[in-house]
Amino acid sequence: MTPLSQVEHAVDLRRSVGAWHGGGPIGFVPTMGALHAGHERLIEQARRECARVVVSIFVNPLQFDRADDLERYPRTIEADAAICARLGVDLLFLPTLQEMYPTPPACTVDPGTLAEHLCGAYRPGHFRGVATVVLKLLNIVGADRAYFGEKDAQQLAIVRRMVADFNVPVTIVGVPTIREGDGLALSSRNVRLNAQERLLAPRLHQALGTADHLIAGGNTDADAVKNAATRVIGSDDLLRLEYFEIVDPDTLQPVEAIAGPVLVAGALWVGGTRLIDNCRSAPTSPRH
Ligand code: PAF
């Protein structure tokens, strides 16, 4: 295994990446660390499609709406570096807070109506923080392709739109969600679930499956689909459904009558852990 190069400063990163230009596509996987199989899938895809791969690890305070969430966010830098080395990452960017925000930013990226619903409605400022740090990272790294998980569907839609709106010269690649055997989407937050909570956690995925089934079967009434799907979650003192919405996959605005592809997304609190998941769904075309 070749030793993994690590840099802290944007100027050093630019120097390394600059020397690679012209030698094939450069792939970039931005992360906040605590790498799991979901991140591994992003890195593996970048590795397959690009000549060089850069991974960043930066726990971005700007996107945390709760101080305790930021504090509790898992930090596992040595294990993360080992994963990057094993997967053949060329360069690991580990900027400090001072490097990314030498002063609190005066200019930030406003995702507008894209952040009005779904997670954005419950996490004020979250997507402004995400879009701002992603734009900074894309500018610093200068990659040709950047990889994001489809599990964070709202984030992915916002990043795609930001890149289009600001003419950022990068291709955004969405990578399908990795799941445990019982359907639970992999997330850095899953480690916080105790045994009882872990048993309940797949209920969100089950509700999404029900919604998908109803929509594919021709049910066009979004409220009826949501009601039937959320009944699957059931009631338990440990469960609290934050939202379960059916929205347009690009504008992220709620849909009332389902006539084409939609994004079905939910957030479920399981004990003290907030889990999100989603699926793309569409009415099945009638056979002729
Ligand atoms: O998905 C994440 O891990 C973060 O939101 C990202 C894209 C690395 C920005 O901090």
Q: How many CA atoms lie within 13 Å of 189's alpha carbon, on the beta-carbon side?
A: 19
> pLDDT tens for residues 153-188?
999 999 999 999 999 999 999 999 999 999 999 998
Ligand 1 centroid distance, CA of 153 (Å): 12
Mean per-residue pLDDT for 76-98?
A: 97
- The finding on whether 133 has its CB within 6 A of some atom of ligand 1 is yes
| pLDDT above 90: percentage of residues in the chain | 93
117 belongs to the catalytic site: no
| Dihedral sign of CA atoms 193, 196, 198, 202 in order | negative
Q: Assign 3 a pLDDT band (cuts: 50, 70, 90).
A: confident
Query: How deeply is 71 buried, as exposed, middle or buried, from its count of CB atoms within 10 A (0-12, 13-18, 19+)?
Result: exposed
- The finding on whether 187 has its CB within 6 A of some atom of ligand 1 is no
Average per-residue pLDDT for the chain: 96
Ligand 1 centroid distance, CA of 255 (Å): 27
Provide the token pair at 277.
């998941």
Sequence-separated (6 or more) residues with CB below 8 Å from residue 107: none
- The finding on whether 276 has its CB within 6 A of some atom of ligand 1 is no
- The finding on whether 32 has its CB within 6 A of some atom of ligand 1 is yes
26-31: strand order across its sheet? 5-7, 91-93, 52-57, 26-31, 145-149, 171-175
Set 9, 39, 117, 213: catalytic member: 39
59 CA: nearest ligand 1 atom: 10
pLDDT recorded at residue 288: 52
> pLDDT tens for residues 67-76?
988 998 889 9
For ligand 1, atom 9, which residue shows the shortest CA distance?
Answer: 130
DSSP string, 80-144: HHHHHHHTT-SEEE---HHHH-SS--S-----GGGGSSTHHHHSTTHHHHHHHHHHHHHHHH--S
Which residue segments constitute the domains of the chain, with CATH numbers given?
Answer: 5-175 (3.40.50.620), 188-279 (3.30.1300.10)
- The finding on whether 95 has its CB within 6 A of some atom of ligand 1 is no
- The finding on whether 210 has its CB within 6 A of some atom of ligand 1 is no
Sequence-separated (6 or more) residues with CB below 8 Å from residue 43: 29, 53, 55, 83, 84, 87, 89, 147
> pLDDT tens for residues 35-61?
999 999 999 999 999 999 999 999 999
Is 73 or 123 the better-scoring residue by pLDDT? 123
pLDDT recorded at residue 189: 87
pLDDT recorded at residue 117: 98
Mean per-residue pLDDT for 148-156?
A: 98
137 CA: nearest ligand 1 atom: 9
